[in-house]
Structure 1
Amino acid sequence: MAGTKFLQYHWNRLEKGSTVVVALSTAANVRLMDSTNFNSYKNGRNHRYTGGLVTKTPFRIKVPRTGSWYLTIDLMGLKATSVRHSAAVEPPPLPTAKSAPLPSLSGIRHERPPIVPDDNGETWDVFISHASEDKEAVAEPLAVELRARGLKVWLDKTELRIGDSLRRKIDYGLAHGTFGVVILSKSFFAKGWPQYELDGIVGMSVNGDQRMLPIWHEISRDEIATQSPSLVDKIARNTALSTVAEIADEIAEVVRDAVDA
């Protein structure tokens, strides 16, 4: 191959994963080679390369490792006597993005508040305030997961229906339970709660600690902000980002910490 006419591009450094994009006006032989193999190629010796006979462009070649690289174009064995050409380099893709971890639930509760038995003489580890429409999809599965972790869960008496007082329901739950969960969804907001009751959810605290954990279910941040801007920035979980079991694990850990405190 010594004496073969060829066109060349040279890059002192290409990163692994970069892509060399070649455009040709006619079919041609295209080779991407490191320095050692390029020297062998131009001196007619055996060499290794990536590429081959390119009949359709743009033609893309992935750079196998970081280093100095040569791209050659020749017409050996072909009828054409000339070729218009260009070559460009696309950088490698960015590393896979890693989402910031969710804020810890430690800000929900640091110490067990004083609670009193309900009308039946019972107290609860967790109560779940929810719209009746969300009972099957979220509330009941969460209750099952929490009970499997040894917690006492209050569910039915905190089911919300049109005409209920949201604040009264939650106040009642907090009076008899250690930890409160409220499931925010389109069905929840469709109940038409007064704004002061929605704002009251996030105002409940003990020694400055958030007492309620909102769980977003099939609802966006913008939709929640439209209903109650004060709810958006509170520590919360989202069923689109965490499984019910994962949420139950976090709640169980916080409740146990409160009991042990």
Structure 2
Amino acid sequence: MRRVLTVGVTYTGDAIEGVEIDNLGLCRPEVDHGRAAYPLYEYDTIIINPASYTHFLFGKAGEFSNEPNELGKLKRQNDRYDLDSAFDSEDRCKEMEAAIADGATVVWCLSEPKRMNFFGYRETHLGFVTPKATSFVKRSGLLVKKGRRFGLVGSDTPFARYFDVLSRTGGWTLCLSDPGESEGYASIAATPEGYSLGGQVTLGATKGWLLTPPTSQEAENQLVRDSLAVEKPDPVHEKYHGIFLSHTGTDKPFVRQLRRDLLARGVEHVWLDEAEINIGDSLIAKIEEGIKLSRFIAVVLSKKSINAPWVKKELDIAMNREISTGEVVVLPLLYEDCELPEFLKGKLYADFSKPQEYEDILAKLLRRLRIA
């Protein structure tokens, strides 16, 4: 079952076999449990249209969406709908990072940056929950226009049908005048004068699509269908060189079991020192080789390992690679409760500290490794 989240976009078309669509918002579950989305990394496809605060908080337009003092009216309706109470931007951003890293298709609809002074200036672009996408839109010359004609539309774009529906129904309203394609943006559709109506963005580890928003219900339905048609990389053919298990000798029994389970479930290369280093080999050279050839460095965290010199060295190498490439490299695996290193505290970790939850956490790790 493929799970789709639409935020600010409503799908009213026929049911799509094998697809479950949630039209929900990005508010905190404790503020409005019924209208809050699940963690973003639980979705295979995410479509966000932050046309108003209500759009991105609760999933669809509300009675105050077109009001100039929307935030004030929301708060008067329910004191918990105050933006600071209703929306945890930092948490949702972390979820989005995890979703993108996990291969989710993400589509951001361009929107006017409605800016409101309500205990400080706030913009609806908060709803992108991706600071890099927000910054990119801001510096790319967002223009509010009104048009029905298109210039060039890429024939091989998965959103060709969406643009066709737009031209026949509500037309288009927003475009980018200067997206700077050398900055990680590849335009897929343009206005007759050459402004971009959508494209694929790659901003370091942030990947997704920016599109002019739907202006009719038919266009909303087609946007969902086209988003589902975006081809994902075939896990079998991805450039994947396995996982390196960084650990201390004290945790060897757990690491051996983890390696056996990963191999049994299809992970082709799980680097473990005792399995890779033979008598006479250079210990340092073999470990450096293992790190270099591994796509991920899994750090098994325990009270002993966090102070182990070898683990510190391996973690330092892995973090430097992550910073330089912009890709997720370090996968923290918590084996027992301990004080996490400062630079790992912001990462979502796999919690193997509870034996009864081992299989569930293993399944999450396998998903991170693109193993079906």
Superposition TM-score, scaled by structure 1 size: 0.41
Relative contact order, CA 8 A, sep 6+: which one is greater?
Answer: 1
Structure holding more strand per residue: 1
Structure holding more helix per residue: 2
Superposition TM-score, scaled by structure 2 size: 0.30
